[in-house]
Amino acid sequence: MFKNKKGVLLILMYLVVSVLFVFLGVFVFRNMWQAKATMRQKQGMLAFYCAEAAIDKGVSKLPADISGEVNVSLTDQFGNIQGEYTYTTTILEAAKRWKVEGWGYTPSQSQAASTVHLEAYVSKRDLPDSFWENAIYTAGNVRVNGNAYDIDGNIIYGGSLLPAALDPLLFTGTATADVSINPLIKLDYDSLRTIAASQIKPDGSDNVYTSIEIAAGNPPFPATFWFDNTDADPTKWVPNVVYVETDLVLNGSIGTIGGFLLVVGDVTTNPSSTSETVINGNGQIDGCVYSTGQFRVNGGGNGLNVHGGVWSGSDGVRLNGSVDIEYDLDYMNAIRDVIQPGSTVQVISWRKL
């Protein structure tokens, strides 16, 4: 009887040990599989970043240079190679449209554990007449809330108009949907920033406003549209070019702000970034506002008057409360003919192949 019990216990012990070995094997296998999956995911992400870098490099050289590059190494902050990229550029329309293809490899093209292939379509869009002919030009939606608004001039939008029909007593002009204006045309920001930096106001400050200066409210903005209107020929008068390197949020009574306001953030270092213009309160903008992000007014009291025009990106225009926007042809012509802002190349669409 005792020997039988010892035999049963021995069998049970073998079973327990076998089960433990099975669980240990499953545990080890699972950890190895997860480690390999994590490594594959990391390699895929690195390859994707390399392909993105390839696209960015190809786009940055347009329109002057369409030559590609092969087996370019990317390193981390310690100088360790993380992957390689290759890209090619194809002309689709001379000086206007291109296709840039980028390949990312990890750890290298010759020993690629992961490969990512991206394709981007790039365009240099001319500034059409419609860019200059509207009180509101936006790549997104135009949303108007309430009935305390007055829009004198045309509206062109790439998204929707909400409500679909504006009160004809409050809106003088035509509203046109045009999906082709999305995304918002990118301007030559480097050139415009150079102009803003060269315009020195009487207080000694220039017209470039950093995020620190905007947060501090110092220096003040120009109070008139014109930087120099001393020439006998008014067609040669020079507007203020106000370059804002962050979101522009104005609260309370803002008084009068003048010029060609460019609310563009850090587009020179991060081309895909957007910055919005938000005005809470009342006052007047004597000029034109170009905002890569949303243009939004939360008017109160006497509301806000914009005498000139508004451009905004795909985040659209939102008008709440009391606001008047009036198109001004003279201001538009001064920007168009004197400042002569040009467009730059931009990615219209991209996909992973």
Task: Give the tens place of pLDDT for each residue, 155-170.
Answer: 999 999 999 999 999 9
**Count H helices, E strands: the chain?**
4, 21
Say which residue, 22 or 161, is predicted with more confidence: 161
Give the whole-angstrom CA distance, residue 285 versus residue 304: 8
pLDDT tier, 16 (very low <50, low <70, confident <90, very high otherwise): low
pLDDT tier, 291 (very low <50, low <70, confident <90, very high otherwise): very high
Residues 6+ apart with CB under 8 A from 174: 154, 155
Q: Tell me which DSSP letter residue 222 carries.
A: P
CB atoms within 10 A of CB 40: 13
Predicted confidence (pLDDT) per residue in 97-106, tens digit: 999 999 999 9
pLDDT tops 70 at residue 3: no
CB atoms within 10 A of CB 268: 12
Q: What is the pLDDT of residue 268?
A: 81
Above pLDDT 90, what percent of the chain? 70
Q: What is the pLDDT of residue 265?
A: 95
Report how far apart the first and last C-alpha atoms of the chain are (Å, whole number).
73
Give the whole-angstrom CA distance, residue 329 versus residue 133: 8
| Domain map (residue ranges) of the chain | 43-124, 129-344
CB atoms within 10 A of CB 283: 20
Above pLDDT 70, what percent of the chain? 89
Q: Are 54 and 118 in contact (CB under 8 A)?
A: yes
Say which residue, 91 or 1, is predicted with more confidence: 91
3-state secondary structure of 110: coil
pLDDT tops 80 at residue 279: yes
Q: What is the pLDDT of residue 200?
A: 97
pTM of the model: 0.81
3-state secondary structure of 265: coil
Q: How many residues are listed for the chain in this entry? A: 353
Give the whole-angstrom CA distance, residue 152 versus residue 16: 85
Beta strands in 145-247 (DSSP E): 149-152, 155-157, 161-162, 171-172, 175-177, 208-209, 226-228, 238-239, 241-244
3-state secondary structure of 6: helix
pLDDT tops 70 at residue 36: no
Q: What is the pLDDT of residue 310?
A: 98
Predicted confidence (pLDDT) per residue in 183-225, tens digit: 999 999 999 999 999 999 999 999 999 999 998 888 999 999 9
pLDDT tier, 312 (very low <50, low <70, confident <90, very high otherwise): very high
Six-digit token pair at 17? 């040990």
Predicted confidence (pLDDT) per residue in 124-156, tens digit: 988 999 999 999 999 999 999 989 899 999 999
Q: What is the pLDDT of residue 27?
A: 63
CB atoms within 10 A of CB 227: 23
The residue type at 301: G
Widest CA span in the chain: 123
Give the whole-angstrom CA distance, residue 60 versus residue 89: 11
pLDDT tier, 269 (very low <50, low <70, confident <90, very high otherwise): confident
pLDDT tops 90 at residue 339: yes
